[in-house]
Structure 1
Amino acid sequence: MDIHEYQAKEILQKAGVGLPRGAVAFSAEQAVYAATELGGWRWVVKAQVHAGARGKAGGIKLCQTYHEVREAAEGMLGKTLVTHQTGPQGKPVQRVYVEVADPFEREFYLGFVLDRKEERVRVIASKEGGMEIEQIASEKPDSLIQVIVEPAVGMQQFEAREIAFKLGLNIKQVQSAVATILGCYRAFRDHDATMLEINPLVLTKDGRILALDAKMSFDDNAMFRQRKVADMHDPAQEDPREAQAAEHQLNYVGLDGTIGCIVNGAGLAMATMDMIKYAGGEPANFLDVGGGASAARVATAFRLVLSDKNVDAVLVNIFAGINRCDWVAEGIVQAVKETKIGVPLVVRLAGTNVEAGRKILRESGIDLYTAESLTEAAKLAVEVSQKHKTAA
């Protein structure tokens, strides 16, 4: 789960991380009022979306007057911001963050990520702030400073000092940087985060260390104990299909292909997508209906898949254990009757109550293709998808 910049900064502020003064606004009038309350001579108006590269897309504006603050907010609110991270569909801007633009001398990069291979928190820092970490790693790999945190003891002061000195800070500045780095680590650890990125972290002209930007992502499976973080969730920033799938306990991820997939089990779903690719096709989604999928959930899965206008065929691949093939078959029949599918349907059933499931499909009278194996089903799905595309 992702949150907005201003929400991440609320968490960091409570952890003792230095931040510029700022306030969130939902209208141009609120943005101007925020600027007057914050004081200062220059302000930055930032579109609040779950994506980076906002500046290049016009989502960050430096303003020197209240009139410019109003214009910047009006130009962002209610619009869709498109960056290279959002894709062509973009993200809606429903709020902006107004922040005092303190002058600074140097920019740094600071990030914390859950390294699943090492099963540790990895801290990454660089003297090259304001650049994406991928660009830093590609163009200036020698500038990367990395520390692996031992979970039994947590991040220690000597590790934070080591990072600060390698960033080229002096003794006085190191003290502030250590407090910032340790504060970020506590915020990361205590809130079950999987990623925390401050880019840029800056050194101001008066020697303060401030986080000018902040991004945080969290472990979805830990939200039951992080209710305050869960309440920060903004469904408007998600693919509406993924949000709808979450409401029905379905695991859905939209992709760019043309063959819709409805599968039970994450491993089988991945294998199904691989087989579609091997057969020459492109999967349109990852969708796991789970182990106890009812007919209603299967019908919901169909509606989600068919909401993608790029889908030219649907492949249902069920290997029933806890699940039952007759439940899935009933869901398929229900979905076809309720929804005008309009694309070829390929079904492969195996496992618990498979004969009962196949009987339901045979006697339903609906138009579909059946397959005995996953290989056969994937090849068939690609073939009928290409035929449907040609006919259209």
Structure 2
Amino acid sequence: MNLHEYQAKQLFARYGLPAPVGYACTTPREAEEAASKIGAGPWVVKCQVHAGGRGKAGGVKVVNSKEDIRAFAENWLGKRLVTYQTDANGQPVNQILVEAATDIAKELYLGAVVDRSSRRVVFMASTEGGVEIEKVAEETPHLIHKIALDPLTGPMPYQGRELAFKLGLEGKLVQQFTKNLHGLATIFLERDLALIEINPLVITKQGDLICLDGKLGADGNALFRQPDLREMRDQSQEDPREAQAAQWELNYVALDGNIGCMVNGAGLAMGTMDIVKLHGGEPANFLDVGGGATKERVTEAFKIILSDDKVKAVLVNIFGGIVRCDLIADGIIAR
């Protein structure tokens, strides 16, 4: 489950992490009032959607007047923002974030994920902030520095200093970076997160570190013990088919192709999609019915696949032995 930027920054504030003063707004009038609360401009206005690439799509703008803030809000609220991380329909813009503009001297990257190979939370930092970390990893992997958290001790101060030195930080910035790393690690562990990304983490012209952006992803399997995060869920940002599939314990991800896929097992499902692509087709979805599939679940899976108007055919690839094939057939016939 992903959080909006403004929700991430609300969490940052609870843990004492520095971020620009800002307010989430749902109307143009609220946006203008937010600017008045913040003080003199310039301000930054940002569309709140669960996707990256907002700036290139026009969803982030620096403005110098309240009139420009109102115009931005009127232009985007109630519309859909299409970025390279969304599908062709984009995602709905129901809030915009109005923030005080920051004087940026340098942009850094700081993020954390669960590394399944080492079974630890791994923090990554880079001097190449403000760009996609995947691009940095592909073109200049030596610019990404990593540390792994010991599950017994958690984040240690020396690890923060080690990363800070590798980023070329000096003086009070080392101390600030270490404090920020500890705070982010604490959020990650206490809130059962799967992803943290601060891109960019900026050094201001005044010589301070600020979390200019924030992306948090929670572990869906742990939401039962995170009531605060459950309340932050924005279902308008989720594909309704994916939400429906989750209710039936189906792993479904919508794609842009026209060949529906129903498979049992995540590995076989990905392999099936690869075969479709290899032969010139385009998969319309990833769908793993799982090893405990029932007739009803298979029927529901077909309904979800066929609810996509782009689907022209459905490829069923079932590995017998994990699931009874006659059960799959019964589910298809029932549909």
> Normalized against structure 2, the TM-score is what?
0.91
Contact 2:53 / 2:84 at 8 angstroms: preserved in 1?
yes
In the TM superposition, residue 327 of structure 1 has moved relative to its aligned partner by 4.8
CA distance in 1, matches of 2:17, 2:280: 51
2:57 matched to which residue of 1? 57
In structure 2, do the counterparts of structure 1 residues 286 and 162 end up closer, same or farther at CA, with 3 Å as the change threshold?
A: same
Return the alpha-carbon distance in structure 1 between the equivalents of residues 240 and 141 of structure 2: 38
Q: Point out 4+ residue stretches in structure 1 off by more than 6 angstroms.
A: none
1:164 aligns with 2:164: yes
Write out per-residue CA displacement over residues 153-173 of structure 1, whole angstroms, 9 at most, x where no aligned residue: 112101101222332332222
CA distance in 2, matches of 1:258, 1:86: 17
Query: How far apart are 1:273 and its partner, in Å?
Result: 4.0
Matched, 1:104 2:91: no
Partner of 2:217: 217
Partner secondary structure for residue 165 of structure 2: helix
Shift of 1:263: 3.2
Q: CA deviation at 1:98?
A: 0.8
The residue identity in structure 2 corresponding to 1:153 is T
Q: Is the 8 A contact 2:125 2:144 kept in 1?
A: yes
RCO greater where, 1 or 2, for CA within 8 Å and sep 6 or more? 2
User: Deviations along 1:10-35, whole A, 9 cap, x unmatched?
Assistant: 11221221111111001111111111
Distance (Å, rounded) in 1 between the aligned partners of 2:279 and 2:168: 54
Distance of 1:144 and 1:322 partners within structure 2? 41
Provide the C-alpha distance between the structure 2 equivalents of 1:132 and 1:275, rounded to a whole number of angstroms.
Answer: 29
- Per the normalisation by structure 1, the TM-score is 0.78
Q: Secondary structure at the match of 1:114?
A: strand
Task: Please give the residue correspondences for 1:194-209 in structure 2 after superposition, counting only pairs within 5 Å.
Answer: 194-209=194-209
Residue identity in the other structure for 1:163: L
Q: Does 1:93 align with 2:107?
A: no
Establish whether residue 151 from structure 1 lines up as the match of residue 151 from structure 2: yes
Q: Work out which of the two has the higher radius of gyration on C-alpha atoms and give 1 or 2.
A: 1
Q: Quote the residue 1:130 is aligned against.
A: 130
Q: Deviations over 1:252-295 (max 9, x none)?
A: 11234433222344355345445555676543322233444444
DSSP 3-state at the match of 1:146:
strand
With over 3 angstroms needed to count, the CA separation of the structure-2 counterparts of 1:231 and 1:322, relative to structure 1, is farther
Q: 1:332 to 1:123 in 2, by over 3 A?
A: same
Structure 2 spans left out of the alignment, 5+ residues: none
More deviation in 68-77 or 165-174? 165-174
Q: What are the superposed Cα offsets for residues 58-98 of structure 1, whole Å, 9 maximum, x if unpaired?
A: 10011111111111111211111111111322111111111
The amino acid that maps onto 1:251 is N
Change (3 A) 1:172 1:26: same
- Which residue number corresponds to residue 14 of structure 2? 14
Q: Secondary structure at the match of 2:56?
A: helix
| Native 8 Å contact 1:3 1:217 kept in 2 | yes
1:31 maps to 31
Q: Structure 2: how far apart are the matches of 1:107 and 1:132?
A: 12
Shift of 1:330: 3.9
Aligned-residue RMSD, C-alpha: 2.3
Deviation, 1:138, is 4.0
1:259 corresponds to: 259
